[in-house]
Amino acid sequence: MKNNTQIAYFSMEIALESAIPTYAGGLGILAGDTIRSAADMAIPMVAVSLLQHKGYFHQILDETGWQTEEPVQWHVEDYLTRLDARAYVEIEGRQVALCAWQYDVKGADGDLVQVYLLDSDLEENSEADRALTYHLYGGDSQYRLSQEAILGIGGIRMLRALGHHEIQRYHMNEGHAALLGVELLAEIIHESGESTIKKEHIEQIRRQCVFTTHTPVPAGHDRFPLEMVYRVLGRDNPMQHCEGEFCPVGELNMTYLALNNSHFINGVAKRHRQISQEMFNGYHIEAITNGIHIGTWACKPIQALFDQYIHGWRNDYASLWYAISIPREEIWKAHQSVKRQLIEEVNRISNCGFDMEVMTIGFARRATAYKRLDLVFENVDRLQAIADRSGPLQLIFAGKAHPHDQTGKQLIQRVFRMRENLKERITICYLPEYDMELGKLLVAGSDIWLNTPQPPMEASGTSGMKAAANGVPSLSILDGWWIEGCIEDITG
């Protein structure tokens, strides 16, 4: 496998399974689905990420809905295999040693994609350096830059240490891994024996790299002052000699670094391509709309129907067009069985008294302002009138706010307040600790999937796809992928 590997996929977060807390949200979920799909298709690929010893965080909600966080305690050895190889990255003049842990993603026909999770928690490192792979999106800007150096520079060096010398394409899933271009340039200079960087060297890098941007908000792109960059990475690196190429605005913008070093760039929906093209004028950006790994997100009762009616669907998702031929009463029966699981889990966790016979609306995603998880409460009188006219409603919310996102935390609190204000008319609950397993249950067991982002800030979003794979219709703002997926009176 190692000798045949042609693609290296880099992502700061990857959702491998719920018990491995190396993901925070949609970016990691998308990365995991991409890797699972590559394994199904026998694509000769490896993936590189960071280990995250303390994970994203455990979410604790008090009686008012205020979120606090605790580190995740998990036993790495129970899920991953530690490899003997070592790589080293210079950070603030110190040689930081890295090891890698391997997780094998197995495809439908047994083909594997190896995932390498980089780890600096080694005895030979200082306490501060050991902590560089503790927290996902934790710490200050210098901590983030150090992590991105480990991912991009250390990731390339670890691949070489593991024997991956014939890789033809390096795929950056968001800009966090963009320093891999700097390391590839250093390799080219070293191999050529030349002391100056030439235009053809940078073109050689571009031919090897592709970049997927996910963020339609300028503030969401990592930027670091050059003083910090040189303090953390040192001045003896190729970036110093071509600041104009790598840092066109006088700072290290990881998105521009990835844009400048890639021959192919894509947004994650048609609308997102347009937004990205406006943000990054002068770069040609394509659109490849995000997808999902249906073998992961379709619930077991629905998968059983696919197995019965659509032979070979696990290897040919296009064949799922034929799902329209599955008798609707069988789909409803499958939905009812998983809805019962959801209602039982909601009542076990929250003691909210949810009812199987009541229309259940699900909303689960990162708790941040532009997702507008509280938009459904904007006109409470109208919401109550709908319930009076059409029958009782119950709403399930879930999602974590970033530890530094005070507005996101306040949104969760507002849902808690509305739960009390509306409890005589509409049943509401907010489930803590949103993860892959809870997500699977929510997208399959809800009767309606609610999606209310502020346009045009939803790059793609895929939770509605997961609902659709389970026969659950979406009630969604026309943004992200839903512009392409919505057919009035058919899909939503």
pLDDT tens for 112-125 read 999 999 999 999 99
249 and 383 together in one domain: no
The answer to whether 12 and 50 have CB atoms below 8 angstroms apart is: yes
Domain end: 253, 287, 321, which one? 287
143 and 212 together in one domain: yes
Is 224 among the domain residues?
yes
Q: Which percentage of the chain shows pLDDT scores above 90?
A: 86
233 and 300 together in one domain: no
Three-state DSSP class for 70? strand
Distance from the Cα of residue 347 to its chain's centroid? 28
**Residue given tokens 């306490």 in the structure block:** 127
314 and 276 together in one domain: no
CA dist., res. 351 & res. 338, Å (int):
19
Mean pLDDT, the chain, integer: 94
139 and 209 together in one domain: yes
241 and 301 together in one domain: no
List CB contacts of 390: < 8 A, sequence separation 6 or more.
359
* CATH of residue 340: 3.40.50.2000
Domain end: 264, 287, 310, which one? 287
Helices 226-233 & 141-149 angle (0-180, nearest 10): 50
Which tens digits make up the pLDDT trace of 313-353? 998 889 999 999 999 999 999 999 999 999 999 999 999 99
Section 96-100 average pLDDT:
98
Is 101 among the domain residues?
yes
Overall number of domains in the chain: 2
Which tens digits make up the pLDDT trace of 271-299? 999 999 999 989 999 999 999 999 999 99
**pTM of the complete model:** 0.94
CA dist., res. 20 & res. 15, Å (int):
7
Is 374 among the domain residues?
yes
Is 492 among the domain residues?
no
Dig out the tokens for 37 from the structure.
């799909």
Domain that holds residue 338: 294-485
pLDDT of 249 higher than 90: no
List CB contacts of 37: < 8 A, sequence separation 6 or more.
291, 293
pLDDT of 368 higher than 80: yes
Is 236 among the domain residues?
yes
Q: Output the pLDDT for position 1.
A: 43
**DSSP code string of 59-125:** EEE-TT--EEEE-----GGGT-EE-S--EEEEETTEEEEEEEEEEEEE-TTS-EEEEEEEE---TTS
Q: Output the pLDDT for position 238.
A: 79
Pick from 296, 35, 46: nearest CA to 161: 46
Q: Output the pLDDT for position 242.
A: 67
Farthest-apart Cα atoms in the chain, separation: 77
Q: Output the pLDDT for position 247.
A: 76
Which tens digits make up the pLDDT trace of 47-77? 999 999 998 999 999 999 999 999 998 999 9
Dig out the tokens for 61 from the structure.
């909600």
